[in-house]
Amino acid sequence: MALLGNLRHRPVRRLVQLYLGLALYGISMALMIRSHLGLDPWDVFHQGLAKLTGLSFGTVTIGVGALVLLLWIPLRQRPGLGTVSNVVVIGLVVDATLALLPAGGPLGVRIALLITGIVANGAATALYLGARLGPGPRDGLMTGYVARRPGRSVRLVRTVIEVTVLALGWLLDGTVGLGTVAYALAIGPLAQFFIPLFAVPEGSATDSAAPSAGSAAPAG
């Protein structure tokens, strides 16, 4: 029951907030995909793999998340309920939303989709991190590696990983564009704004530490 070990404090709010955040995250990804103006680094990689394999975007997202989670084992990281839910829920929601959203449209509509998607992504990140039920698999990979290599900074490790997946995704024909740059510039300030609004106060020493704006990362 390790996944539920820190759920004693405000369980209803935290569960609702977790799944609302993960669902909103999947919706935000779909909005950015439909804008055709560029994606965040991990989603460029996901899209490239989806084109290569013929699998749906959500299926690839789930598969990559599961593989990244396996990399937690040598890092001795323990997943929380939010970690496992992140792997599954976001992929299911992004596929469902893509099935409902039409492709294409005028440039003005696509810009609106991009902006809405980026803002929603910032809010979604704050919602699921604020629930304190475990980081996303990609977040945990970065923080776990830094914990095992104390001389490395989270910022440096995150940058190296994201530049790598962005380059791989671009080589696989993932969409890199204005949206990619806009996301990189906006997600930090958006997370800094939203995280204090949604962080569940600590109820006891068993609760995980409060998330900070610097801990926010795309596609958990």
**pLDDT for 115-139, tens place per residue?**
999 999 999 999 998 998 988 898 8
Q: What is the pLDDT of residue 204?
A: 46
CB contact burial 92-109 (16+ within 10 A = b; e otherwise):
bbbbebbeeeeeeeeeee
Low-confidence winner among 48-52, 90-94, 100-104 (lowest mean pLDDT): 100-104
How far is Cα 42 from Cα 148, in angstroms, rounded to an integer?
Answer: 23
| Residue 6 pLDDT exceeds 70 | no
Q: What is the pLDDT of residue 7?
A: 61
CA distances from 15 to 60, 98, 134, 158 (A): 25, 25, 12, 27
How far is Cα 183 from Cα 86, in angstroms, rounded to an integer?
Answer: 20
The overall average pLDDT reported for the chain is 86
Instruction: Sketch the domain layout of the chain as residue ranges.
Output: 13-200
- 41-51: pLDDT as tens digits: 999 999 999 99
| Residue 2 pLDDT exceeds 60 | no
Helical ranges in 101-177 per DSSP H: 107-130, 137-148, 154-171
Q: What is the pLDDT of residue 17?
A: 95
Low-confidence winner among 4-13, 18-27, 134-143 (lowest mean pLDDT): 4-13
| Residue 216 pLDDT exceeds 80 | no
- 43-82: pLDDT as tens digits: 999 999 999 999 999 999 999 999 999 988 888 888 889 9
Burial class (CB in 10 A: 0-12, 13-18, 19+), 77: buried
